[in-house]
Amino acid sequence: MNENASSDVKAKRQILIGLSGGLSALADRMRSQHAIATKITTLAARAEAIAQRSWDLNKLNSQDLQRTMDGFVGEIKTFAKQAIDAAVRAGSEALLGKEVAEAIAAHSAEIARLTREIDSLPDAAAVRAILQPLSVTLNTLPARLKANTAMLKDVDAIGALATGLAERGDALAAGGTAGNRVAVELSRDLRQFAEEATTFSLKMASEAALAVKAISDMAQRTLGLSQGNPVSDQAPSATDRLMTLARTGPQAGQVWATSVSRTSRSSPVQGTPPGVKW
């Protein structure tokens, strides 16, 4: 191989390495989203346990209740803050996982084409031209597929419920003759939080996992191609992609379905995630 040909090969591979890095950054973004969802699921499980303890306060005599109350109220406030923080983070960082996965998988044919043609392409510019649509997708996904109104409504509802739990804790700390009633109401609100948070977080986690798999698969193929390793030149068919993506997530025509009817307060928690660059 002469010096010019060697330089062309290196330039081509460098483009693929950069693309692989961009894909990996997006995969990390979706892993972070999965971690947030897992955190909310964990909070939901804790809410169920605390709800039972709140209900059991009614079984205590006055002396035991007083000894228990301070620590319990502190736990409620700590839990509520953690839940609010998790909702804020979910609203500010969330992307629509299923749609991210589908958008990335739609470019599989470009990588398959490169697998067949990269050695015959004249230079790095030709490689860059083939990858231009995928480049555009990577740079526009965070803005184009950020959490939509329906998803943010679910996040806001979780944040509002968490805020309400803190208020119940304050009412419980105030004591008085209404203490038993407040304990029952707190138990009820904790169970509602657990139900809604579980529904939301499991959906968010499953869709984030779909996105991570689609992005990581493409990143591996791209990196392998940049290293000169054998890579399949068969791109998944549209049917294959749809069958995979349909295992979880919304039905056709839905982007994010609100699963539980909402009531009460509203505390918007949303934001615009940064773009992914490579």
Q: Would you say the pTM of this structure is higher than 0.75?
A: no
Is the Cβ–Cβ distance between 97 and 204 less than 8 Å? yes
pLDDT in tens, 57-112: 888 777 677 778 878 888 999 999 999 999 998 888 788 888 888 988 888 888 88
pLDDT in tens, 213-261: 999 988 888 888 887 765 554 544 444 444 444 444 443 333 343 333 3
Average pLDDT over residues 44-53: 94
pLDDT score, position 247: 47
Q: What span, in angstroms and rounded, lies between the C-alpha atoms of 125 and 204? A: 39
E-strand spans in the chain?
none
Is the Cβ–Cβ distance between 249 and 136 less than 8 Å? no
Assigned token pair, 201: 């977080």
Q: What span, in angstroms and rounded, lies between the C-alpha atoms of 103 and 77? A: 41
